């Protein structure tokens, strides 16, 4: 898979233009990120379903806390119907910085994610579902036929989430762009694959990599500050320690994001954070980083910011990925 993440911080018409450009450039999957303070990923996906022909489409990633999981299953199923079966389901525990604004940060965990996509799969198969766990449903069902299968990718970085994805899902969207992180993720996935459920196909460990690429390498690194701030704020202590990142500084960034003081958060991003959490630079520099990542990952999703010039970055990132595979 060569995927791309689009962040709905832009108007819908702009996102449709970017998504169709990605299809032309050879990407095979578009993931649209989901945060309450941006536009609806499902509105974007609906528009993209009408504007594209072959590229797979899905949220990347939604969480089962902001929407009831049965409703979430219906929304993904609608994307599948609108796109003639091109849907993919990216689901994870959610971003702690923005979920904190909704009083949901303490509800994050593995169990809600697992229960949500297991119930979704049953609903897509036409079952009526009664469930009593991290959420409740009584004789719930969808009133339309769903084009299946819909591949499920779990977004997560913790060891238990990685292992759960390997056991139960089609893939893992591991939020990392550094080979050391993907090497660690591969070890967790290997443990989970030992218990992989019968009947599931091949597993895809996808590096959901923040990428910032431009002809001007320094401009690319500067453009990386916003997504790196979110990644640093959400990274668990072991990841910060792996890269020598000051945990207190990462906490300060998270506090600034939660307060809506984004300029302060982005200013606190250090060069070491950019090195750890983004493949940033020229095409050659990004290609070298992606080649190192692909020593451990099966595939790549190039994520925000893509670069200082989004239109150019879509093509440049695809070129970097092609060079990485040579």
What is the set of domains in the chain, with CATH numbers? Answer: 2-216+280-324 (3.20.20.30), 225-277 (no CATH)
Residue 146 has what pLDDT? 98
CA distances from 51 to 8, 69, 196 (A): 16, 27, 36
Residue 193 has what pLDDT? 97
The angle that helices 110-124 and 159-168 make with each other, rounded to 10 degrees, is 20
47: exposed, middle or buried (Cβ count in 10 Å: 0-12, 13-18, 19+): middle
Output DSSP code: residue 177. -
Residue 323 has what pLDDT? 98
Calculate the CA dihedral of residues 134, 72, 209, 255 and round it to 10 degrees: -60
Enter the tokens of residue 104.
């949901």
Chain Cα centroid distance, residue 77: 19
3-state secondary structure of 136: strand
Residues of the chain with pLDDT under 70: 97
Task: Yes or no: say if 56 and 195 are a contact pair by the CB < 8 Å rule.
Answer: no
Residue 94 has what pLDDT? 78
User: Which pairing describes strands 2-6 and 29-32: parallel, antiparallel, or unpaired?
Assistant: parallel
Residue 179 has what pLDDT? 98
Report the alpha-carbon distance of residue 308 to residue 302 in Å, rounded.
14
Residue 4 has what pLDDT? 98
Residue 154 has what pLDDT? 98
State the pTM of this model.
0.94
pLDDT tens, position by position, 204-218: 999 999 999 999 999
Q: Give me the residue label for tokens 């509800």.
A: 107
């Amino acid at each position: 898979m060569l995927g791309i993440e689009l962040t709905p911080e832009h108007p819908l018409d702009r996102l449709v233009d970017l998504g169709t450009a990605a299809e032309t450039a050879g990407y095979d999957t578009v993931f649209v990120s989901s945060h309450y303070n941006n536009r609806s990923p499902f509105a974007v996906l609906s528009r993209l379903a009408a504007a594209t022909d072959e590229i797979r489409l899905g949220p990347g990633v939604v969480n089962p806390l902001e929407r009831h999981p049965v409703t979430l299953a219906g929304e993904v199923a609608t994307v599948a119907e609108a796109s003639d079966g091109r849907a993919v389901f990216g689901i994870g525990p959610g971003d702690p910085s923005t979920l904190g604004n909704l009083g949901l940060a303490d509800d994050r965990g593995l169990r809600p994610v697992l229960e949500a996509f297991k119930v979704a799969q049953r609903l897509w198969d036409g079952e009526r579902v009664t469930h009593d766990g991290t959420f409740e449903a009584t004789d719930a069902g969808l009133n339309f036929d769903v084009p299946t299968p819909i591949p499920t990718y779990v977004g997560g970085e913790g060891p238990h989430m990685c292992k759960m994805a390997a056991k139960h899902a089609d893939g893992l969207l591991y939020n990392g762009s550094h080979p050391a992180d993907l090497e660690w993720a591969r070890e967790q996935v290997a443990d989970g694959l030992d218990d992989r459920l019968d009947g599931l196909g091949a597993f895809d460990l996808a590096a959901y990599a923040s990428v910032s690429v431009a002809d001007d390498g320094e401009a690319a690194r500067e453009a990386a500050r916003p997504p790196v701030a979110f990644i640093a704020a959400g990274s668990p202590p072991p990841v910060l320690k792996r890269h020598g990142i000051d945990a207190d500084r990462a906490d300060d960034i998270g506090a600034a994001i939660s307060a809506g003081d984004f300029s302060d958060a982005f200013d606190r991003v250090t060069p070491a954070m950019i090195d750890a959490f983004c493949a940033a630079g020229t095409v050659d520099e990004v290609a070298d980083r992606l080649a190192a990542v692909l020593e451990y990952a099966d595939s790549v999703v190039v994520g925000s910011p893509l670069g200082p010039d989004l239109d150019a970055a879509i093509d440049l990132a695809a070129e970097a990925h092609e060079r990485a595979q040579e």
